């Protein structure tokens, strides 16, 4: 069976999508803190097996698919579209890798949680090609506000954690560990993912936000 889809490769746009979801094999519960140690691009954080959910991480009554992403701190207001994955081969194994929108829109990983549900709602986008939707994501900091709209309601979040992980040309085991950041969680959260640094894209910038109080 295929494992949890990997983080997207830099510069890869949508292509053929498999017809059935891959089997999830990991549950991510990274420690959430408002004052994390500044990330080092040369090191990979190791998310612990469990974490205490934030008291604010409470699901809404009617979870729904995201339709729009608004981040005032970087003047971002863009549509959100559902994204699937492509099956590739790495290290002699077949693995699935998320596709990314080719225009100025954020991609919602379709097997991640809908907005308002307990779980990890994951949005992705390029930062230096194909619309550059997340070109200023690196400017965000802990405490910045994010709003995600659905057809039914708007959910407000606050960035609680950010990290940078090496991804390009990394062995499969490292990429699978990185993919835990976009896997399921037992609390309500929003995760944003893009390539880093600009015009190099050897790493991935990951922001985790929790529901606003």
Q: Which domain holds residue 97?
A: 68-211
Question: Terminal CA-to-CA distance of the chain, rounded, Å?
Answer: 40
Query: Residue 94's domain is classified under what CATH number?
Result: 2.40.260.10
Q: Is residue 83 part of a domain?
A: yes
> Are β-strands 203-211 and 188-196 bridged in parallel, bridged antiparallel, or unpaired?
antiparallel
Q: Each residue of 14-30: pLDDT tens digit?
A: 333 332 333 333 333 44
Residues ≥6 apart with Cβ < 8 Å to 127: 133, 134, 135, 137, 138, 194, 195, 196, 198, 201, 205
| C-alpha 113: how far from chain center | 11
Residue 66 and residue 79 in contact, taking contact as beta carbons nearer than 8 Å: no
d(CA 10, CA 19): 23
Could you read off the pLDDT of 36-50 as tens digits, one per residue?
333 333 333 334 333
Predicted pLDDT at 86: 80
State the greatest distance between any 2 C-alpha atoms of the chain, in Å, as a whole number.
46
Q: What is the mean pLDDT of residues 117-122?
A: 96
* 110 belongs to a structural domain: yes
CB of 110 within 8 A of CB of 124? no
Does residue 206 sit in helix, strand or coil?
strand
68 or 100, greater pLDDT: 68
Tally the domains of the chain.
1
Q: pLDDT > 90: what percent of the chain?
A: 47
| Residue 107: inside a domain | yes
Residue 128 resides in a domain: yes
Alpha-carbon distance of 135 to 142, in angstroms, equals: 18
Residue 36 lies in a domain: no
Residue 179 lies in a domain: yes
User: Alpha-carbon distance 117 to 77, whole Å?
Assistant: 22
Q: Supply the pTM of this predicted model.
A: 0.72
If we measure between CA atoms, which residue out of 66, 26, 56, 80 comes closest to residue 160?
56
Does residue 53 lie within any of the structural domains? no
């Amino acid at each position: 069976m295929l494992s949890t889809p990997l983080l997207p490769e830099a510069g890869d746009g949508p292509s053929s999508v498999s017809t059935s979801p891959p089997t999830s094999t990991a549950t991510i519960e990274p420690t959430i803190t408002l004052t994390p140690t500044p990330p080092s691009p040369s090191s990979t954080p190791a998310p612990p097996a469990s974490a205490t959910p934030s008291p604010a991480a409470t699901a809404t009554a009617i979870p729904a698919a995201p339709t729009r992403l608004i981040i005032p701190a970087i003047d971002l207001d863009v549509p959100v579209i559902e994204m699937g994955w492509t099956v590739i081969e790495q290290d002699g194994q077949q693995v699935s890798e998320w596709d990314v929108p080719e225009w100025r829109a954020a991609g919602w990983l379709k097997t991640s949680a809908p907005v308002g549900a307990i779980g990890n709602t994951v949005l992705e986008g390029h930062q230096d090609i194909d619309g550059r939707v997340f070109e200023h994501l690196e400017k965000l900091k802990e405490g910045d506000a994010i709003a995600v709209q659905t057809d039914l309601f708007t959910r407000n979040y606050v960035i609680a954690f950010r990290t940078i992980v090496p991804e390009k040309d990394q062995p499969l085991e490292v990429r699978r560990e990185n993919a835990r950041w976009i896997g399921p969680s037992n609390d309500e959260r929003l995760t944003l993912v893009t390539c880093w640094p600009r015009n190099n894209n050897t790493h991935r910038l990951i922001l985790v936000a929790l529901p606003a109080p």
